Structure 1
Amino acid sequence: IAKAEGRESFKQAMIKIGLDVPRSCTVHTMQEARDALREIGLPIIIRASYTLGGTGGGIAYNKEEFEEKVRNGLKLSPVSEVLLEESVLGWKEYEMEVMRDKADNVVIICAIENFDPMGVHTGDSITVAPAQTLTDKEYQCMRDATIAVMREIGVETGGSNVQFSINPETGRMIVIEMNPRVSRSSALASKATGFPIAKIAAKLAVGYTLDEIPNDITRETMACFEPTIDYVVTKIPRWTFEKFPDADPTLTVQMKSVGETMAIGRTFKESLQKALRGLEIGHFGLGGGKKDLWGTEKQPAIEEIRSKLATPNAERMFHIRYAFKAGMTVEDIQKLTSIDPWFLRQIRDIIACEEELRTVGRLDSISDELLRRAKSYGFSDRQLSGWLHATEIDVRNDRKQRGIVPVFKQVDTCAAEFEAYTPYYYSTYESEDETPARNAFAANGHGLVRPDGTAVPDTGDVVRNEHNHRPDGSQKRVMILGGGPNRIGQGIEFDYCCCHASFAMRELGIESIMVNSNPETVSTDYDTSDILFFEPLTTEDVLNICDRMQPDGVIVQFGGQTPLNLARGLESAGVPIIGTSPEMIDAAEDREKFTAILNKIGLRQPPNGIAVDAEGARAQAAKIGYPVLVRPSYVLGGRAMEICHEEEQLVRYMTEAVDASPDHPVLIDKFLEDAIEVDVDAISDGETTLVGGVMEHIEEAGVHSGDSACALPPYSLPQSVIEEIKQATYALARELRVRGLMNIQYAVKKVEQDGGDPIYTVYILEVNPRASRTSPFVSKATGQPLASMAAKIMAGVTLQEQGITTEAWPTYTSEKESVFPFSRFAGVDIILGPEMRSTGEVMGIADDFPAAFAKSQQAAGLNIPREGTVFLSMAGAHKQAMLEPARRLQKMGFKLISTSGTARELQNAGIEVEVVKKVQEGRPNLLDYMVNGDVQFIFNTPSGKGSRTEEGKIRAAAVLYGVPCATTLPGCLAMVRALEHLQAQPVPRVQAIQDWHNTVTPVS
């Protein structure tokens, strides 16, 4: 591992075996770096050692960038080592996925080609498997080199990936790097070929050899049989730059995407268009639809197109199309992008077909040949409907009448040479369908048989019961819709629920069908469900599968917003949706219907209104009173949500941030300042409702629930308030006729009374009758498998029949903390607000709140200091509340520093503090302290949002220099309690999660 991960040792190993590498130099100090620059020259590639996702890397085009990027790389590398490398920008990039065992058997699993040339991190590049533009000789040379690398580095028990680059003009091939482990590409290669790299690597690690491990899919070949694929796989990353408007959207050697989608087709054209629609960003292929700017007043000028082609960015694929439409040639585009002409010719063919469709212009005039060709090129019914001036439903019905329907092909690792036993499918427009017929139960009710009467192997323990068979004796099928590509607001939490739903169906003896397009997930493993369809989650693609498989029920509750957006379309096409009805899901999402429900059952919500234009918004806000929280309806992850403190800000939001209309009204709520936010996950079978968990957020209301840390059970709310929240939850579940999971967000306003107990008022913010992103956290915190229980309810098994009649109430505390990608987006202000920006989460479990909070912070990668200097800077409203925590910090031995305003408050209260200059007051100022490593912690609550403010610069610098920073008052207070705990008990109590679960007390 050290030989491959250490930049210098890897370079020497490659030279030893005669492989070419870029000219480079490994440095450990800034002076060494400057000396190396004189030899290598600009532009220069910077790579930090022992980091993931290109962290600490970059491309420097001038000396100023060079100094900044090398300094950052040395800081982020755990061994303070940076590789400086000659630029190979514009060369073609390839990856070889390879496995080797202790007997020196080596197999190449997959050759992956990057659509984007060198200079874009492979995690941010569109990738294609198998490689499309290598000659056979080039492929064999690369294969031999890969095997030589494996032997020299000494990987004997598992998978690796080796990255190569080829100069398209001279053919010179160089080795870029090797990951001596399973990587992001391994997951993609596993899904692309059906060869389970990590599973086989685990067997190699305990001593098996490749010729001893059977291939699960064929059951006839061994793992030493190299996969052969007769289809094309395209992966496209998913970015969320809209969440970071201040960030630089240029794609470089540092990875910025947060998710990816993968599609399979018989040709590159088909798989590319399927992948574009699988991204779920409003494009239904290459061109067409509301997002297509061609022919609108926003059509980009040729100068803008050229600029977008010259710098890698998230929209480049669509600008390649605009370039062809504007009359540019393959050669013109290749010069600007360095993308291989073969790929550009494929895209040109797609656009030529689009022009043919536009010329026809009518559905009743299109020939069968052109319609079939368009579908085989991957065009969606949605795209065709725009160019043929018809509705999507009309195109679908017309296509089916003509017999132009997709067939489903099997992923079998062997290009159909052997029979495949793993039902893993993709759609294409050809003639032969390979999906299995429905199984039936054996006459004695034990085991399954095929339509020809032969037994289905390994199903002897499947027993017929009242929930799993149809009137004709055949086995029921339930389809689970996944969540699509990971993005901010919708990630792996929903995939957890989909997998547990699939396992629950298997337990009941129901055949589970999974539909998803995300190669990073467990749900797209071929052994998670009985049948897997690797397809985009659109109405068209899901209906095509339903036509073929005829499921007895479809579950839309577990994949986040993606399947919910399809629910109405599927239901109107006659697909049976099981669980909470789409009508009730709509009632919870629709502001007016939901308000009527709350009024009916006597529950409180903040004063609110709806607006369809800026004028209406001003009137509503004036009636409700500022500050107001504004957001579009039907969104996940707080997309385009904002807190407006005055009218000017509201008008700007209505004109710039959202496209409000009668179909898409904007919701306006009174913003409850300093309220405590509470999340509740519950489960109901229509009769019995149980609360899975009540979570109290650390950050106040106004910070998106996906970004706030939260504690289960609540750490500050009295029992009477928790009881009121539970009763409201039961009432809502009953009224919405929930069957499955639901999540409710509450805000609790606390008003202190002179000399008496405080008064708490509970408000309902929103209800989501589906799995929430906290479902896995609650399940892990309490030991109750909520997603599995909910799936069984949908299949007709009540909670009582499942033997679950009590709620689980832990005596310990579990803490969820969010993980943010701020280090990837230099200069972005890290202040938390109503728009979600975290990309992951961690969990800490301990006996009490301070200990659990401390564990969660450490798990999130925060380097919690035990001593040193704390910088305090508080907004006016928080200065008094910070005095007590400041005293406690001082008592623990921390030195306090502050700018003049906060310092005055602290000194007046008798707290010792050193005054430091603000950035604009001269040097040395706070930034100098941070650069020199003289500040260990920052407590800063903002008076204004944005990286343009003085405070914003401080917070952005805190990310750059790795200084922990708390930006909310409750977050600061929780951190002080955690620091006190760590001083008193530096070594945490550790035990298995099962042991924690054993202490949970049931509450009826």
Structure 2
Amino acid sequence: MPKRRDIKKILIIGSGPIVIGQACEFDYSGVQACKALRSEGYEVILVNSNPATIMTDPEIADVTYIEPLTTETIEMIIERERPEALLPTMGGQTALNLSVELAKSGVLDKYGVELIGAKLEAIKKAEERESFKRAVERIGLRTPRSVLVDSYESGMKAIEYVGFPAILRPSYTLGGTGGGIAYNMEEYKDSLIKGLKLSPINQVLIEESVIGWKEFELEVMRDSMDNVVIICSIENVDPMGIHTGDSITVAPAQTLSDKEYQRMRDASIAIIREIGVDTGGSNIQFAINPEDGSMVVIEMNPRVSRSSALASKATGFPIAKIAAKLAVGLTLDEIPNDITEKTPASFEPTIDYVVVKIPRFAFEKFPGADPTLSVQMKSVGEVMAIGRTFKESLLKALRSLETGDYGLTPMPGLSISKIKRELKIPSHRRIFIIAEALRRNMSVDEIYRATHIDPWFLHNIKEIIEMEERISSSPEINGELLREAKQYGFSDITISKLRRKDELSIRRLRCESYIKPVYRMVDTCAAEFVAFTPYLYSTYESPFYRVGSSRPCDLSEAEPSKRKKVIILGSGPNRIGQGIEFDYCCVHAVFGLKDLGYETIMVNCNPETVSTDYDTSDRLYFEPLTFEDVLNIVEREEPEGVIVQFGGQTPLKLAVPLEEYGVKILGTKPDAIDRAEDRERFRELLNKLGLKQPKSGTAKSISEAI
């Protein structure tokens, strides 16, 4: 079906400032949408209020407005620019809610602006809890028992029917804002008042609890010819009761039987058709009772989301780009796959690896904050890791977090009674509590009863703990054991701590034993077709030898070119003090180096960013930003040098150890970086220059501070 010719100008609304539940993933989706629509010949008008985004760069859209995201401002822009269409699905909940307000108030009709990507009726069906419930029931599917309320009085009547514990889900809110779990009447009253206040339409769904059930998500796309594809299945390691943005997740789903997956797939297709999203993508969430396999539908996002960004990076399928093209009338079979250059977007992605996402929290910045995780999102960022197994991906993701944990860090100070208590409380440290419980010989069954985390995941964590024991207790660490540990995902520094050696000695032993990572491509097709886009991840595989050779064959799919090249280190996970602005700097560094004729190589582990889009740099390594992982890439690529200045504190910390190992650091010298970053050295510099400064000192212990 040809693209629409009756549209020339399209308005896109951005997501505004970074808030919990709505971060730089919408900069990524907005940039993709702008580029996709312009490539099809449309004029794009963009409005956003966040100047730290790539999407507000002058070259991304044809016309860019950095203005407050209000209906009044957007009406003025519509009056001035006269777009024929508004794409509401790229700017998160903010853009979706504004688009609904513009439609309901008559602004869109007044200026003849059409909603594309998701019609008003489809948005209302998906976002208004009672409408969604009725739509799901019409197609023979179940939702948890629930009542929609719009006042305190109706809420008090509803709880008599639903009972405790109850889940409260306000309509049209972001990241579970205003939601909660109520175990008693006092908690319920507080949550009800808050939810009604925070819902833009003063509606809250009072829902029976399915806490402890397994949670899954499917990313689904549909075109105007009713073709539907499932892009990715995502499984939450944590059970229902924790916001999916705060849960460790894995793709593809690991613990579903084929029958369960096919049932969920069929349900997703039926839901997207019933809701009426006919030119774009949606995220649909399910819960499955582990006792009897019964399934309920939880909710649907009729737009690109945080999970869409994760699914895009996990599969190599650019959901926002494809959704933008579907919105202007193209069909899935008409849109080529950029990675293979042979298959269309109607081919569902197939992946031959495992992806793990772990959220990044900032509770250390707010000591008084409650670290208990619930249905309201609390994480400020996330990391993603790719490996051949869940174990490998999990350990890679843990060291990507930059919290000082290079693996499942032991917690010897915890008593067994405290461990048992902590297991029952969902928190950002529970994965470490589980590991410690296994070290103390608690059974998988006992941990499952406390956490409701599927035993499959617990057994994998147990195998990691058993490997820890083998590494630490072995009389010596030989090549065979070292290779097995690396295949599990253990870092050199973790192995060195278990062996009480230094990290470089483990690296030397590994290199002497020819144990090096191979780099595999994310190609959307499990190597069925040739991939032309170098989007890479590392893994350790069993070696293959040529006859008569003692050195293993090079199985890497990374084929370094002979061009002049530079590695740029990204900024890692978003956190307070290090956010989207550093991704902006990294992306512009890539563009600048390309203009100078250099091949650009990006290393980063944040799935929300533009820098980890497969077409931003010439080569993308989706890897942890650690000394070991970066050095492996440097040795593989042999660049002119590495740039560390644009990714914030994360790469700056790597500058000195990389230079000491012989890696050329471009730009500001590592010693100068260290002199600026080290408080004591900087104080000495100011004294030398005779500059005034507040009285200060540096302490490395409590006794020194006193």
Aligned partner of 2:567 in structure 1 is: 479
Task: Give the letter aligned to residue 214 of structure 1.
Answer: P
In the TM superposition, what is the alpha-carbon distance from 1:367 to its structure 2 partner?
2.6
Conservation of the 8 A alpha-carbon contact between 2:560 and 2:636: no
**Relative to structure 2, which stretch is displaced further, 579-588 or 229-238?**
579-588
Trace 1:960-999 onto structure 2 (pairs within 5 A).
none
Quote the Cα distance in structure 1 between the aligned partners of 2:297 and 2:253.
17
Conservation of the 8 A alpha-carbon contact between 2:180 and 2:374: yes
1:21 and 2:143 aligned? yes
Trace 1:529-540 onto structure 2 (pairs within 5 A).
529-540=617-628
Conservation of the 8 A alpha-carbon contact between 2:149 and 2:155: yes
Aligned partner of 1:506 in structure 2 is: 594
Aligned partner of 1:309 in structure 2 is: 423
In the TM superposition, what is the alpha-carbon distance from 1:360 to its structure 2 partner?
1.1
Quote the Cα distance in structure 2 between the aligned partners of 1:434 and 1:215.
23
Task: Give the letter aligned to residue 355 of structure 1.
Answer: E
Trace 1:288-307 onto structure 2 (pairs within 5 A).
292-294=410-412, 298=413, 300-307=414-421
1:603 and 2:660 aligned? no
Task: Give the letter aligned to residue 129 of structure 1.
Answer: A
1:149 and 2:260 aligned? no
1:166 alignment partner, one of 288, 292, 303: 288
Larger Rg belongs to: 1
Conservation of the 8 A alpha-carbon contact between 2:411 and 2:433: no
Aligned partner of 2:614 in structure 1 is: 526
1:338 and 2:452 aligned? yes
Aligned partner of 2:661 in structure 1 is: 573
SS in 1 for 2:576: coil
In the TM superposition, what is the alpha-carbon distance from 1:293 to its structure 2 partner?
2.3
Quote the Cα distance in structure 1 between the aligned partners of 2:699 and 2:357.
40
Q: 1:281 to 1:615 in 2, by over 3 A?
A: closer
Conservation of the 8 A alpha-carbon contact between 1:107 and 1:226: yes
Aligned identity (percent) is 64
1:403 alignment partner, one of 490, 494, 514: 514
In the TM superposition, what is the alpha-carbon distance from 1:596 to its structure 2 partner?
4.2
**Relative to structure 2, which stretch is displaced further, 597-606 or 149-158?**
597-606
SS in 2 for 1:609: coil
Q: CA RMSD in A?
A: 1.3
1:69 and 2:191 aligned? yes
Aligned partner of 1:116 in structure 2 is: 238
Quote the Cα distance in structure 2 between the aligned partners of 1:510 and 1:156.
42
Aligned partner of 2:14 in structure 1 is: none
1:249 alignment partner, one of 346, 357, 371: 371
Aligned partner of 2:537 in structure 1 is: 426
Trace 1:607-622 onto structure 2 (pairs within 5 A).
607-612=695-700, 617=705
Trace 1:68-87 onto structure 2 (pairs within 5 A).
68-87=190-209
Quote the Cα distance in structure 1 between the aligned partners of 2:439 and 2:683.
49
SS in 2 for 1:254: coil
Trace 1:169-184 onto structure 2 (pairs within 5 A).
169-184=291-306
SS in 2 for 1:190: helix
SS in 1 for 2:697: strand
Conservation of the 8 A alpha-carbon contact between 1:423 and 1:532: yes
1:355 alignment partner, one of 469, 476, 488: 469
Aligned partner of 1:190 in structure 2 is: 312
Quote the Cα distance in structure 2 between the aligned partners of 1:533 and 1:158.
29
Task: Give the letter aligned to residue 383 of structure 2.
Answer: T
Q: 1:366 to 1:616 in 2, by over 3 A?
A: closer
Aligned partner of 2:213 in structure 1 is: 91
In the TM superposition, what is the alpha-carbon distance from 1:17 to its structure 2 partner?
0.5
Quote the Cα distance in structure 1 between the aligned partners of 2:217 and 2:678.
48
Quote the Cα distance in structure 2 between the aligned partners of 1:109 and 1:11.
24
Quote the Cα distance in structure 2 between the aligned partners of 1:612 and 1:543.
29
Task: Give the letter aligned to residue 275 of structure 1.
Answer: A
Task: Give the letter aligned to residue 474 of structure 2.
Answer: V
1:393 alignment partner, one of 504, 512, 520: 504
Quote the Cα distance in structure 2 between the aligned partners of 1:519 and 1:59.
29
Q: 1:611 to 1:303 in 2, by over 3 A?
A: closer
Trace 1:265-276 onto structure 2 (pairs within 5 A).
265-276=387-398
1:415 alignment partner, one of 511, 517, 526: 526
In the TM superposition, what is the alpha-carbon distance from 1:113 to its structure 2 partner?
0.3
Quote the Cα distance in structure 1 between the aligned partners of 2:243 and 2:701.
42
Trace 1:430-829 onto structure 2 (pairs within 5 A).
430=541, 431=543, 433-439=555-561, 474-612=562-700, 617=705
SS in 1 for 2:538: strand
Conservation of the 8 A alpha-carbon contact between 1:481 and 1:555: yes
Quote the Cα distance in structure 1 between the aligned partners of 2:482 and 2:335.
45
Conservation of the 8 A alpha-carbon contact between 2:520 and 2:558: no
Aligned partner of 1:719 in structure 2 is: none
Conservation of the 8 A alpha-carbon contact between 1:475 and 1:511: yes
In the TM superposition, what is the alpha-carbon distance from 1:609 to its structure 2 partner?
3.1
Conservation of the 8 A alpha-carbon contact between 1:116 and 1:126: yes
Aligned partner of 1:47 in structure 2 is: 169
1:226 alignment partner, one of 338, 344, 348: 348
**Taking structure 1 as the reference length, what is the TM-score of the superposition?**
0.56
Trace 1:911-990 onto structure 2 (pairs within 5 A).
none
Task: Give the letter aligned to residue 451 of structure 2.
Answer: T
Between 1 and 2, higher relative CO (CA 8 Å, sep ≥ 6) is seen in 2
Quote the Cα distance in structure 1 between the aligned partners of 2:390 and 2:240.
21
Is the strand fraction higher in 1 or 2?
A: 1
SS in 2 for 1:199: helix
Quote the Cα distance in structure 2 between the aligned partners of 1:329 and 1:507.
58
Conservation of the 8 A alpha-carbon contact between 1:410 and 1:434: no
Q: What do the CA deviations read for 1:96-133 (whole angstroms, capped 9, x no partner)?
A: 00100000010000000000000000000000000001
Task: Give the letter aligned to residue 289 of structure 2.
Answer: N
Conservation of the 8 A alpha-carbon contact between 2:587 and 2:611: yes
In the TM superposition, what is the alpha-carbon distance from 1:607 to its structure 2 partner?
3.2
Q: 1:191 to 1:612 in 2, by over 3 A?
A: closer
Gaps of 5+ in 1: 440-473, 619-1004
SS in 2 for 1:497: helix
Q: 1:315 to 1:612 in 2, by over 3 A?
A: closer
Aligned partner of 2:247 in structure 1 is: 125
Quote the Cα distance in structure 2 between the aligned partners of 1:318 and 1:617.
30
Conservation of the 8 A alpha-carbon contact between 2:178 and 2:195: yes
Task: Give the letter aligned to residue 119 of structure 1.
Answer: G
In the TM superposition, what is the alpha-carbon distance from 1:144 to its structure 2 partner?
0.5
Gaps of 5+ in 2: 1-122, 544-553
Aligned partner of 1:322 in structure 2 is: 436
SS in 2 for 1:256: coil
Aligned partner of 1:264 in structure 2 is: 386
Quote the Cα distance in structure 1 between the aligned partners of 2:705 and 2:251.
50
Q: What do the CA deviations read for 1:364-415 (whole angstroms, capped 9, x no partner)?
A: x223221111100001111110111211000001100000111100000000
Conservation of the 8 A alpha-carbon contact between 1:43 and 1:87: yes
SS in 2 for 1:31: helix
Task: Give the letter aligned to residue 383 of structure 1.
Answer: T
Q: What do the CA deviations read for 1:797-835 (whole angstroms, capped 9, x no partner)?
A: xxxxxxxxxxxxxxxxxxxxxxxxxxxxxxxxxxxxxxx
Q: What do the CA deviations read for 1:146-180 (whole angstroms, capped 9, x no partner)?
A: 00001000101111011000000011111000000
Conservation of the 8 A alpha-carbon contact between 1:481 and 1:559: yes
Conservation of the 8 A alpha-carbon contact between 2:215 and 2:286: yes
Q: 1:177 to 1:599 in 2, by over 3 A?
A: same
Task: Give the letter aligned to residue 491 of structure 2.
Answer: S
Conservation of the 8 A alpha-carbon contact between 2:519 and 2:558: no
Task: Give the letter aligned to residue 477 of structure 2.
Answer: I
In the TM superposition, what is the alpha-carbon distance from 1:419 to its structure 2 partner?
0.3
Trace 1:189-208 onto structure 2 (pairs within 5 A).
189-208=311-330
Aligned partner of 2:158 in structure 1 is: 36
Task: Give the letter aligned to residue 148 of structure 1.
Answer: A
Quote the Cα distance in structure 2 between the aligned partners of 1:585 and 1:522.
26
Q: 1:591 to 1:241 in 2, by over 3 A?
A: closer
Quote the Cα distance in structure 2 between the aligned partners of 1:274 and 1:484.
13
Quote the Cα distance in structure 2 between the aligned partners of 1:406 and 1:422.
20
Aligned partner of 2:101 in structure 1 is: none
Quote the Cα distance in structure 1 between the aligned partners of 2:677 and 2:190.
47
1:374 and 2:485 aligned? yes
**Taking structure 2 as the reference length, what is the TM-score of the superposition?**
0.80
